[in-house]
Structure 1
């Protein structure tokens, strides 16, 4: 099959036609407007001809003739490339008290054909573990009701435990990887970690296979973020904008609730709650690189007193971020 070609010289002169056409005139086209005059001029530049046959009370017929040259170059047919992705075909148990992080891990692992059971706390996971034939566990360390270390010890003494890897997640970098391994964990991920780090851990323990990627039309966007970054979410979720926005929406709702809890903790001088909620919030705020808020949460995470002036500044920065995120999602 061959295509129609127009010489470069003719293409270059077309742009000059609009300047010339305003002064052009033709008796055959008189009365039919500037548009036809411009059209006629362009046709002539291409070596063609535009004519008019008009009959009173009958109508008008416009005839356009343009000489063309058929290209000798064949049209190249591109072959469709079949893309593949990694599949582990496993079952995972994820324990994380932060709803947005929990959703992020759930969506990420499912991309690798991993069935995921998520729990907000370790006690709920233990209550359900008899019904789950799991291959590995990912658990946060600082959890409500029961911490990740105690949870790991209970799992290892459970009748269904068969040396499945139990992977720790923590936002505290003051304990080394070796110490976590000595305690009994198979591996540790320091928050915020990226998608490649998590994949590396999975590859260390399990064999994978390649499967065709299911064609999925995803919405693309160039919408800029202000005061935060979604690069990490894009890495985890494959630039799936719907999933990213869903995760951000959950994060926004969680942040508003946590904000109210922190305010009450300040009013009640409840240092323990202030520490716990700040620690919980830090993971996702670091994941999103919310630089205006992170320093305050890092202070509140370990503080033994409440600096009211600092807390007022924190509220201002947090409210500004919440407003910015709402505008981005809307």
Structure 2
């Protein structure tokens, strides 16, 4: 059929988007009367093959039928419509959006339909890709949250029985034991503490992977921090009869602005590893500062005379779950996460960490950081930090170093008459608290849940409440809020509330303080920490 187009449609050939004109024939069917050059380019269909045909005859199948149905719908509605259809264009299936506009004769008869079509395949594919990515991101975020919830729950469930193990082994060590019993007791205690370190490492690494590690920058004494850690780990070095020396010149600034707790974690890992893998010789910790280096002026170097690391394995030691074989060294306990966490923390602080080593000749780790000294940079008098006051650690709570027993706190009559209410549903943990405090003279009562704790507080009052968080009926946070309300309503003296919980994350500590608690101790806790908190 020859393409004979009314003059009013001829200009459509110059339009830069696909256009076609349908003529409403005597049988009522809309047939192709004209297609412009852009339509021909897009469809790769010869106009001679289109003219005189319906959409069904031209394209066939379900999509051809859909096109014809839409054309008939436009005729019936006698108004502009838009529809989508998928058609074979140039050996591909294309998503086409078409708008049909009716054209009427002078007497009002609908004679033609003028259609503009747009290939939206790329847009649809882009939208689908965006939607797919959105769904994938949501699934990944949900998976990450599920992993965090799982790890947090597992941490809680493990810490609860570990509090019984560590608490009882500590109490056992205070009794009269023969040498063999002492070895067995210490082994239980140290093994449980090693398990706790593994839990902390896994939680730390999980937070680093999820980019949940935040830095809390403030002025701190690096000189004091380095002395503190070297004194602490020097006890281990002394036990192995190896030296541990700190080289920190007076000319090097003392005080810096940064996250002291994260840097403490880095130094504990590096110096602790040096002690672990050195049997003969010495470990040297050196701190230098180059005022002319505007990128990474601060350097902390840890050098040991240990077994060393094979050159081909030096990159692998910073990978997660990697443990390099050390010749003649069987101490391979741990997760293999320590150096991976260290590297991630250093890089998060904007720094770099490198290692140089030769097998059998020791290793040197160098941490380079962009930390700047504060104005008060050489205040040596304030650098003498008490070793016992380690402060917040990776979990934001006081850390217990089980393998380095602290001196016992004198159990004097200082706690005599102190009325303590223990809200704890776990019977083992109740027993741990009871045994830790039974010789202090304190009066103890126990509640199985938060509701019972409120009732006991209202009935008899108390001076201190040791409050677990996860309990049946009512948890510790809600119980604390109710108690604070009661105190305000009745103008009561404020009772000291101490969180004693296996929920060990910084967010848990923040939630406890926000609910009205005064102190936060995470399980497993040491006897000295509990006594110190009660006596504060």
Same fold? TM cut 0.5? no
TM-score normalised by L of structure 1? 0.34
Task: Select the structure that is richer in strand.
Answer: 2
TM-score normalised by L of structure 2? 0.22
